[in-house]
A and B are shown apart, each in its own frame.
Chain A
Amino acid sequence: MFKNKNQPSGVDTVENAKSEPDKDQPWKELGLKQDEYESIKEILGRRPTSSELAMYSVMWSEHCSYKSSKIYLRQFGEKVTPEMKKHLMVGMGENAGVVDIGEGLAVTFKVESHNHPSYIEPFQGAATGVGGIVRDILSMGARPVAVMDQLRFGAPQDPDTTRVVHGVVDGISFYGNCLGLPNIGGETVFDKVYQGNPLVNALSIGALKHEDLQLAKATNPGDLVILFGARTGADGIGGVSVLASETFGDEGPTKRPAVQVGDPFAEKVLIECCLELFHAGVVAGIQDLGGAGISCATSELASNGGKGMKIQLKNVLLRDESLTPEEILMSESQERMCAVVPKKKLKDFEKIVNKWEVEYSVLGEVIDEDRLYIDWGHEEIVNVPPRTVAHDGPVYDRPVEYPKYQDALNADSSSKLKRAETEAAAQLMELISSPNHADKSWITNQYDKYVMGNTALAMPDDGGMMRISEETGLGVALATDANGKYCYLDPYEGARQALAEAYRNVAVTGAAPRAVTNCLNFGSPENPEVMWQFKQATAGLADACQELGIPVTGGNVSFYNQTGETAIYPTPVVGVLGVIDDVARRVPSGWQDDGNNIYLLGTTYDELDGSAWAKDLHNHLGGRPPKVDLQKEKELASLLYGATQQGLIEAAHDVSEGGLGIAILEASLRFNVGARIWLTELMERDGVNLTAALFSESQSRVIVSVGREDDVKFQALCEARGVPVLRIGVTDKENQAVDIQGVAKLDLAAIRGAWAGVLPGLY
């Protein structure tokens, strides 16, 4: 890619750039467009040096610059009311948002994609996805305390899915377990639409005291810029540009060298080392090195602080001495951090990194000038305004077009599908043993959920929950959701639904929802129909956040999830964080006691379009997704919170994909305690038939089990909050069965057999 290395004159300097203005440069190979290259020349008043070109190419990539999404992401900030900001300590734009949870404590959380590398090289792609998001959390001054992952794979039986599933799960397991972070939940969905474009999103959460907050800023001239952690190697070069910001095609060389290689041991040591540095007050600013490596860290630290830097690139410690300056600037080698350290603290800094046997080198210092100078020995190879690299990249208002297929898709309702009510029991069994609804413990059992001793809830419960304060029991709950099918049918409603479901999944644990993160996975922004989906989904999500009163604190956009002309379903993964004053009040997703009443909260409508019943049983996807009423969601969440505070609820489980039938089976499987269920009253009250009663995916619904002694109190509470409540059954420890009157008595052992054997059978 870079010819300079072999030229006798050595590197391409600023002086060369002036004296040889017409030299051909590989801007296209680096993923830049012609007009982008022209504007670099305009900014600099000359052609860029090859090092500058390398920096701009990675920092102006879609992945780093958000150039196609920026104009839509703004509304997450614009649609925030002062009330919503009450708990927000750091909002969007930093490495991760920070939310006050009380008692002088805060948490930071974010979800990020690592989709493209995870297809090319599933093990390392997924592993470094975990590593990257954890460093984002660390760089806010927080101790990372948990991870979650949101996975989308292709058709379950496809041989290539086997390759991806094994690699991705092994990678997450390897990296997360070695880091000592409990994995507390996530999602796994199979659909052939993700065949060539699996999604691997990773979420991490960290905890900190208010006073420990760190920011990625270089504000004091004279402070030292220090790179520490792993050495810089040749891995991940161009990861953000040529890999993450392009559509997969059939041609071209392998992109495997653009995938990073992770060493979780190095990261574990780096975490402990950083936390000790923070607590010793040695660091004035900190930035992790992920996408775009040193290019990103230096330009962002300088730009954020409104200052400049003078860097000696020869000081970077290398794994391979033959790396060119351009490669060093672009390398995405993992487990590296960049700190800004006041000169008088250097001794303290050295003492701590030496204790942890972490390597470091001083690259240069902060200067009081709006300029980033990088030298290679005695030659100047970069001389740019840092803001133009880090923040003032191109912004595109891409063409948007209502998809040609959309009207026909929405008209193709599921109402034409035959509803064979005598087959309801068989359909329920078929659904619970389909890969999307089957037991996921083959995956989740490969993750450590116990380490740190603070996990209050983890999979298969609806949300993960961590204790943050060992003294008071103060904790947080987290859930993530995205239904790609709904978003394909209607991206605006689908995005609102993703938020509603994550919000509900936090509420069922007993926590109060407080903040949002998202990872927006879409096809190519160069396709106007994909841009329409993106526009609709971001509007839907921003509107819904405003209506629910919880702000987006940060997130990530992943475009180009498409192979050739085929894009994935729009998949905006939404994560909601909730706060609970004492995790001892948490509510699991299944019942354990005998003879408790089972209630359905909410109303069931005939909503089978886009459902698991339609797609997984009838291979049909069309019509309109279920309607979302956020006022109802709020009332439901407030009821659940109130009931949990009074200790009235034994178990609570969200009714979502697969409908009430699947929810009942899951709640019974959780502790292997059965239930007797009757649906006639429900069918009469809501005017639905048996198929809809069992499989409709109407929103704002939850099943709960309540001890008999708390019945009156609970029903009164529902009435006071205006939440529809109906007793639909009782828990039954004796029978070891789920007995749905008028449908079938399903033996628990048989259900478990059908449910638990699916993934081990496939993989």
Chain B
Amino acid sequence: MRIGVITYPGTLDDRDAQRAIRLAGGTPVPLWHADDDLKKVDAVVLPGGFSYGDYLRCGAIAAKAPATKEVIKKAQQGLPVLGICNGFQVLVESHLLPGGLIRNEHQHFICRDQKLRVENNQTDWTNLFEKDEEIIIPLKNGEGGYIATDDTIKMLEEENRVVFRYLELNPNGSMNDIAGLTNERGNVVGLMPHPEHAVEPGFGPDTAVATRSGIDGLKFFQSALKALVNS
């Protein structure tokens, strides 16, 4: 299975996302922002970073890139798309997911090992998790505060579209502790924390057993492969 990873100018975690896909058993395919050819990939990851320097608004310029326009079109037809951190911001700016992401309420960038609860295990990127499973993956962002209108929040909660919720500590002031969302169809998922940084023992978050051994992020990419096999 071929999963594309888009590199925008200022993207940082593209190689990490490619490694995660490889470790999950997929084939990573690098995609270039200026190119509207998605190379017939089976799914797409929009990785973290500071696309176009986060000028204007985080993700706003990337949402208009030729590659993103193709992703929007294909996502509406069911292509599995995962947006991580800046990728989540791009999905929101592209209106594939509702709401917005603003400066962390404490005004600082924050990097920490974050506990999350998987609220929805019916999406293309979470089908291998148990419902309500608690996982730890790194979080690192400056503008991760999720906001939306009351009606939107109500709709997201009622339709079970909140996929991840922050546990123990809300690191950025997100409404309803929302860490990640999905679209109606469950093929598009966006979240602020970084599953691609918890895929390889020795380089992930600390666990109760050993230093930096957490690999809870691997299931995101394995879930996508499973969804693709079943589709």
- A interface residues with partner B (beta carbon < 8 Å): 170, 173-174, 177-180, 263-266, 268-269, 356-357, 445-457, 467, 470, 583-584, 586, 588, 592, 671
Contact = CB atoms under 8 A, between A and B. Distances in A.
Interface stretch (B67-75, B105-113, B157-165): B105-113
A451 B16 contact: yes
A742 B19 CA distance: 52
A263 to B, nearest CB: 7
A597 B13 CA distance: 40
Contacts of B52: 265
B111 A446 contact: yes
B50 A452 contact: no
Given A584-B202, A588-B211, A448 B9 contact: no
B9 A269 contact: yes
A204 to B, nearest CB: 16
Given A448-B111, A450-B197, A584-B202, A456 B140 contact: no
Given A177-B140, A180-B12, A268-B12, A583 B202 contact: yes
| Most chain A CB within a 10 A radius of its CB, from B16, B19, B206, B211 | B211
A278 B153 CA distance: 50
A451 B55 contact: no
Nearest to A273: B9
Contacts, number: 91
B203 A467 contact: yes
B109 A177 contact: yes
Given A356-B9, A445-B112, A265 B53 contact: yes
A449 B110 CA distance: 11
Contacts of B10: 178, 265, 268-269
B210 interface: yes
A170 B110 CA distance: 11
Contacts of A671: 206, 211
Nearest to B18: A453
Contacts of A586: 202
A314 B211 CA distance: 56
A177 B58 CA distance: 14
Contacts of A467: 203
Given A456-B203, A592-B209, A450 B15 contact: no
A407 to B, nearest CB: 47
A705 to B, nearest CB: 13
Given A178-B50, A671-B206, A453 B197 contact: yes
B111 A456 contact: no
Nearest to A455: B203
B100 interface: no
Contacts of B199: 453
A173 B110 CA distance: 9
Contact of B15 (A170, A174, A452, A456): A452
A453 B202 contact: no
B51 to A, nearest CB: 9
B50 A592 contact: no
A727 B60 CA distance: 59
B99 interface: no
Contacts of B9: 265, 268-269, 356-357
Interface residues of B, number: 35
B21 to A, nearest CB: 12
Interface string B117-158: 000000000000000000000101010000000000000000
Nearest to B206: A671
B15 A453 contact: yes
B110 A445 contact: yes
Contact of A446 (B48, B49, B109, B197): B109
Nearest to B210: A592
24 contacts: A173-B108, A177-B140, A177-B142, A178-B54, A179-B12, A180-B12, A180-B13, A268-B9, A268-B12, A269-B9, A445-B110, A445-B112, A447-B111, A449-B111, A450-B197, A452-B16, A453-B200, A455-B212, A456-B203, A457-B212, A467-B203, A583-B202, A586-B202, A592-B210
A161 B110 CA distance: 21
A644 to B, nearest CB: 14
A167 B13 CA distance: 26
Contacts of B109: 173-174, 177, 446-448
B202 A456 contact: yes
A456 to B, nearest CB: 6
Nearest to A672: B208
B108 A265 contact: no
Nearest to A182: B111
A671 B206 CA distance: 9
A446 B108 contact: yes
B141 to A, nearest CB: 9
B53 A263 contact: yes
Contacts of A449: 111
Contacts of A448: 109, 111, 140
Given A177-B140, A268-B50, A671-B206, 20 more contacts: A178-B54, A180-B12, A265-B10, A268-B12, A269-B9, A269-B10, A357-B9, A445-B112, A446-B111, A448-B111, A449-B111, A450-B111, A450-B197, A451-B12, A453-B15, A453-B200, A454-B203, A456-B203, A457-B211, A588-B211
Contacts of B209: 592
Contact of B194 (A357, A450, A456, A592): A450
Contacts of A177: 50, 109, 140, 142
A173 B200 CA distance: 25
B196 interface: yes
Given A268-B12, A446-B108, A592-B210, A178 B53 contact: yes
Interface string B26-60: 00000000000000000000001110111100000
Nearest to A266: B53
Nearest to B212: A456
A450 B138 contact: yes
A445 B15 CA distance: 23
Given A178-B10, A269-B9, A446-B110, A453 B203 contact: yes
